[in-house]
Amino acid sequence: MSRLSIEKPWQRWLIRFGVFVAMAILCVPGLWVVLTAFRPNIEVLARPAVWIPQNPTLDNFARLFGLSSAQQGLPVAQYFVNSLVISITSTLVAVVIGMAGGYAFARYRFKGKATLFLAFMLSRTVPGVALSLPLFIIWARLGIIDTSFGLIVVYMAINIPFTIWLTDGFFRQIPVDLSEAAQIDGCTPWQAFWRIEFPLARSGLASAAIFAFLTSWNEYALASQLTRTTASKTMPVGLMDFTAQFTVDWTGMSAMAVLIIIPALVLTFIVQKHLIAGLTFGGVK
């Protein structure tokens, strides 16, 4: 073995230190938002800046739900329900359609397969903001502006191409021999898929589901254009309720941002055990 290929201890620790510094820099904005959610407003406006809250408080969260006399409560519960319904529905539909599409691209040959797959991938190169005006015009003519259904359709269109690409890669890693062996043993193609191939592709589907959910949950640009009232606004759009003509309620906005972050973290921790590739290793001898 070459000496150059042997990693020295100091090099290993240097890499770890570099990764730690990079991650710390990336986490600073999120940490600042979380800390601001527990600050009184006077500390937010203090100069020089107060990094660690001197007087932590839950009053910012109480004001969100109208439990404090300092400010009338916002319809946070309605925003949360809207976001949850829109994100879960669009994610489920995107994963189901993407799984079927990815399996078809991975297992079958048909005319125009490469062109169609390329078209799906090219659709991901168009920024969502660039579609806001044509979407607004079309949705207005269809009468689905300011509806949850309108946002669900948009997020489905955004998430399906990526889901197809991701699941296609995972189904290609699963040997066809496994499905063929199951069918020889008496399984139908449908049973072979659900009993053999689907469990092995769960890590890819979990990754696709997380991506689709977070995209729908955190998206702001299109949601702000296609929603108007409390009945359809999502949590990110609701953040703008804390802005006025001359002032911004940073503490209230940060408290709501923390509420937006929590479901995403919970989902990630729930499915993290499925986010491991290579489940088919050793499946075929």
Listed by start position, the domains of the chain span 3-64, 76-274
pLDDT at 70: 58
pLDDT at 72: 58
d(CA 251, CA 33): 9
- Give the Å distances, CA to CA, from 197 to 21, 88, 166, 183, 236: 41, 24, 15, 12, 37
Q: Which residue has the tokens 């203090």?
A: 46
- Does this model's pTM top 0.85? My answer is no
CA-based nearest residue to 239, from 173, 251, 158: 251
Q: Tens digit of pLDDT per residue, the chain (285 long)?
A: 444 456 677 778 888 888 888 988 888 888 888 888 888 878 877 777 777 888 888 888 888 877 766 555 678 888 999 999 999 999 999 999 999 888 888 888 888 888 888 888 888 788 777 888 888 999 999 999 989 999 999 999 989 998 988 888 888 888 888 888 888 888 888 888 888 888 888 777 888 888 899 889 989 888 988 998 888 899 999 888 888 777 788 888 888 899 898 888 888 777 776 665 444 333 444
Return the structure tokens found at 132: 């806001």
d(CA 32, CA 27): 9
d(CA 11, CA 47): 41
pLDDT at 282: 39
Structural domain 76-274, CATH architecture: Orthogonal Bundle (1.10)
pLDDT at 276: 53
pLDDT at 1: 46
